[in-house]
Amino acid sequence: MARAQTHSDGSSVNDPNYHPHDQGSVDWNPNGKMFREHVSRYVYASKLAAGGHALDIGCGKGYGTYYLAKFAKSAEGIDMNAASIDVAQAHFHGAHLSYRVGDALKVATLGKAFDMITAFEIIEHLPPAATDHFLFGIGRLLAPGGKALISTPNHDVVVKSGVPVPDFHINNFRATELRAKLKQHFKHVTMIGQFNERPGLQGLLFRLDLFNARHLLSAALKPLFKSNSTDQNPHGDRHTAQSPARPQSGIDAAFFDKIYDSFGDFRFSRMHWRQAGLTLALCEDPRRTTV
């Protein structure tokens, strides 16, 4: 049911489309594409979290936070879904690892400083009117020299590829729009695209296609793009309308005992952020940390 969200400064956002998501996070499935795609972002983030204090906003079932904790001095995961937090606390343990139920719109009240903050596929679920408040909260929590890594589906790819937008994605950004918004809050923003490597002609077209025109090509060329690519599921999201939450089984934290240099076939490129289906942004040096 829709509800008004109260901000830490006492203001509220009233949006009839916004409500805490009922479906939980990505199911535990080491062989599943969505799971591996999600984990790959944490593997990428782990290199940035080394030696610091990390916060994982929207941690879901906690496996990503658990992996970050292998590199960071400490890692804390927050998520609005209490059932997901229960899974995290039951399966993923560490001396400097903790989880709590928490609201992404209230992170500024945590009263701590973090060297690394991850917020994967959160912003598209927030009311548009809450975007600035959310980003301000992240900036306020960053320690001097700290970094925030934010991800969201590239709405330009979503629209041009004809993929239906989930009704709970109410705050969608094209990669260029996300960059413009983030630059309002951070002095340094580095855009990164996540995608599967493409072979041959398909890979060449992808690398050259800054405006995502490949999705508008004739039907005769469409078979070229039927691959295991992020573009085939450009939402890159933990939540799908077709995948309701279901009991987890077979969760094994030992899956993350291995230290990965990379994970799966996913690539992260600072050159291809416009055409990738999933956009990440590395944000540094917040412009404003006080109200």
For 185-206, what is each residue's pLDDT tens digit?
999 999 999 998 877 877 777 7
d(C-alpha 138, C-alpha 104), whole Å: 9
Q: Is 87 helix (H, G, I), strand (E, B) or coil?
A: helix
Query: Using CB atoms within 10 A of its CB, is residue 110 exposed (0-12), middle (13-18) or buried (19+)?
Result: middle
Whether residue 244 has pLDDT greater than 60: no
DSSP 50-67: TTSEEEEET-TTSHHHHH
Contact predicate 52/74, CB 8 Å: no
What pLDDT sits at residue 17?
Answer: 47
Which token pair is 114?
Answer: 């973090």
d(C-alpha 231, C-alpha 161), whole Å: 8
Looking at 3.40.50.1240, 3.20.20.70, 3.40.50.150, 3.40.109.10, the CATH number of the domain 25-285 comes to 3.40.50.150
Q: pLDDT averaged over the chain?
A: 83
Tell me which residue has tokens 């993923």. Answer: 92
Contact predicate 4/13, CB 8 Å: yes
What pLDDT sits at residue 210?
Answer: 79
Least confident of 3-7, 58-62, 120-124, 219-223: 3-7
Contact predicate 35/26, CB 8 Å: yes
What is the pTM (predicted TM-score) of this model?
A: 0.83
C-alpha R_g of the chain:
18
Q: Is 10 helix (H, G, I), strand (E, B) or coil?
A: coil
What pLDDT sits at residue 217?
Answer: 67
Band (pLDDT 50/70/90 cuts) for residue 171 is: very high
d(C-alpha 127, C-alpha 169), whole Å: 9
